[in-house]
């Protein structure tokens, strides 16, 4: 990739959280019982507290964008969910870029990446629009430290969730891991307080330098492995 000058961030991404946006206290969690057994719940639970066909409990956080200081290393749970589910740009919140090769994503290899990476990569980072893909490449400190790729993804399949998994004990729910990652349909989702929605990137095309001028270089490579 071409080396682009580092710039001070000119925009706070839509998905970022702000210091004034605090999560609900853990003591708001309760044990709910249903036909399938106990599941994690909130006191005074609202219909909007659960998402997806698994009805996963979603982490509550105050919605106060613009108040306090931006937390560039943290995503707001509800804004992350909405942009990932509805395929909106993570930077501006408007529709993400899509053409005949698919949706526009930025991705990088991680310790859990499959051998087929970037094909079948799991990501919690929502897609981007053309304009803000360039902005992210020029300004995002994290991308400066990774070997990232720009992708077109024809099949960004909803895969699962990450969050805090809880274990039911005699004293109630107790967190037993710092973070967990579970696929849709997993029974463990009944005890998870989820904060990230994941997609699996299938049928991907690595974008060539022609799309994002000056900051991208190299040949395009197509992956179509089902």
Q: Is residue 9 part of a domain?
A: no
Q: Which of 86, 125, 129, 123 is nearest to 104 (CA)?
A: 129
- Residue 4 domain-assigned (yes or no): no
Cis upstream peptide for 118 (omega within 30°): yes
Answer yes or no: is 195 within a domain.
Answer: yes
* 30 vs 172: CA distance, rounded Å: 7
pLDDT at 152: 96
Give residue 166's domain range: 16-222
pLDDT tens, 177-217?
Answer: 778 999 999 999 999 999 999 999 999 999 853 344 344 43
- Dihedral in degrees, nearest 10, Cα atoms 224, 182, 199, 70: -140
pLDDT of residue 223: 45
Q: Span 5-20, mean pLDDT?
A: 81
Q: What's the pLDDT tens digit per position in 34-63? A: 777 889 999 999 999 999 999 999 999 999
For the segment 54-75, the average pLDDT, to the nearest whole number, is 94
Domain count across the chain: 1
Residue 3 lies in a domain: no
Q: Is residue 5 part of a domain?
A: no
Q: Is residue 7 part of a domain?
A: no
* pLDDT at position 1: 34
Give the separation between CA 189 and CA 168, rounded to whole angstroms: 13
Residue 8 lies in a domain: no
């Amino acid at each position: 990739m071409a080396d682009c000058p580092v710039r001070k961030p000119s925009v706070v991404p839509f998905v970022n959280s702000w210091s004034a946006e605090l999560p609900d206290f853990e003591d708001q969690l309760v044990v709910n019982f249903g036909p399938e057994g106990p599941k994690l719940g909130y006191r005074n639970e609202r219909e909007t507290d659960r998402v997806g066909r698994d009805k996963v409990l979603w982490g509550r956080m105050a919605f106060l964008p613009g108040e306090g200081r931006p937390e560039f290393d943290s995503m707001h749970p509800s804004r992350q969910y909405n942009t990932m589910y509805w395929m909106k740009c993570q930077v501006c919140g408007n529709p993400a870029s899509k053409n005949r090769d698919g949706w526009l994503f930025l991705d990088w290899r991680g310790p859990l990446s499959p051998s087929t990476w970037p094909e079948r990569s799991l990501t919690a980072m929502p897609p981007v629009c053309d304009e803000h893909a360039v902005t992210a490449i020029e300004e995002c400190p994290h991308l400066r430290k990774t070997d990232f790729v720009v992708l077109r993804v024809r099949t960004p399949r909803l895969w699962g969730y990450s969050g805090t998994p809880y274990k039911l004990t005699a004293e109630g729910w107790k967190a037993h891991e710092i973070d967990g990652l579970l696929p849709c349909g997993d029974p463990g989702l009944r005890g998870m307080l989820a904060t990230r929605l994941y997609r699996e990137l299938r049928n991907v095309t690595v974008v060539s330098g022609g799309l994002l001028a000056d900051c991208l270089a190299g040949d395009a490579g197509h992956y179509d492995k089902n």
